[in-house]
Chains A and B, each alone.
Chain A
């Protein structure tokens, strides 16, 4: 069982380029999340989806977009990357209800924007 798979694991790209980080889960979880993690700041929620077909904005959504066409996939797109988006990005999923706080994380995508 793979759990959550993220791709790419690492990427360097030029400012202004478009980039999509992929996330796929095989646990049939309803909820999915995208976080960024920066030194000293902890995990910050970018976007989330409580179920397929719905998405919501988190704490730091500007410059990012997501879609949730089905239960398994939750890609994160940077339309025009900027250096401040250099970070480690984690995709996560959780079941609903009382188990909603037990998140399962992907291995992370380290993104450097030059």
Chain B
């Protein structure tokens, strides 16, 4: 079966750095995606990795290792507004997105 695993909840301090991990087992691979979802709102696209390595976009970076079936989202200089759920999704061989259950990130002052 297809499976995406990520921690249910994480807590971090404002101004710090946090790494949210995602491991996957899917039928084929056509890219890994990270989305942010604030409580009561719709998910919004953050990043996309299709090749191994680090993609940096401002305070957010995403890393991919296809051989290990592993990705992480790195958030630097955390702000209170970063409190949200972060969803990991993998596009399989049928070009369908397989979603993880999401990681709820709580930022404390």
Asked whether, in the complex, the Cβ of B33 is within 8 Å of the Cβ of A45, the reply is no
Contact at A90–B99, with CB atoms within 8 Å?
A: no
- Tell me the B residues contacting A by CB distance below 8 Å: 4, 8, 30-31, 33, 35, 41-45, 48, 87, 89, 91, 95-97, 99-102
* A102 vs B48: C-alpha distance when bound (angstroms): 8
- In addition to A42-B102, A44-B99, A108-B42, 4 A-B residue pairs with Cβ atoms within 8 Å of each other are A48-B96, A102-B48, A105-B44, A108-B41
Cβ-defined contact, B42 with A107, below 8 A: yes
The CA of A103 and the CA of B97, in the complex, are separated in Å by 10
Chain A contact residues: helix, strand, loop or mixed: loop
The distance from the CB of A102 to the nearest CB of chain B, in whole angstroms, is 5
Do the beta carbons of A101 and B89 come within 8 Å of each other? yes
- How many of A's residues come within 8 Å of B, CB to CB? 18
Tell me if A43 and B99 are in contact (CB < 8 A). yes
Q: A12 at the A/B interface (Cβ < 8 Å)? A: no
Is the C-beta of A40 less than 8 angstroms from some C-beta in chain B?
A: yes
The verdict on A100 contacting chain B, using a C-beta distance below 8 Å, is yes
- From A42, A58, A102, B101 is in contact (CB under 8 Å) with A42
Give the contacting residue for B99; candidates A42, A105, A108; CB below 8 A: A42
What is the CB-to-nearest-CB distance from A94 to chain B, in angstroms, rounded to a whole number? 9
B100 to A, closest residue via Cβ: A42
24 contacts between A and B (CB under 8 A): A41-B101, A42-B4, A42-B87, A42-B99, A42-B100, A43-B43, A43-B87, A58-B96, A90-B42, A90-B43, A100-B91, A101-B30, A101-B31, A101-B33, A101-B91, A102-B33, A102-B45, A103-B43, A103-B45, A105-B42, A105-B44, A106-B42, A108-B41, A108-B42
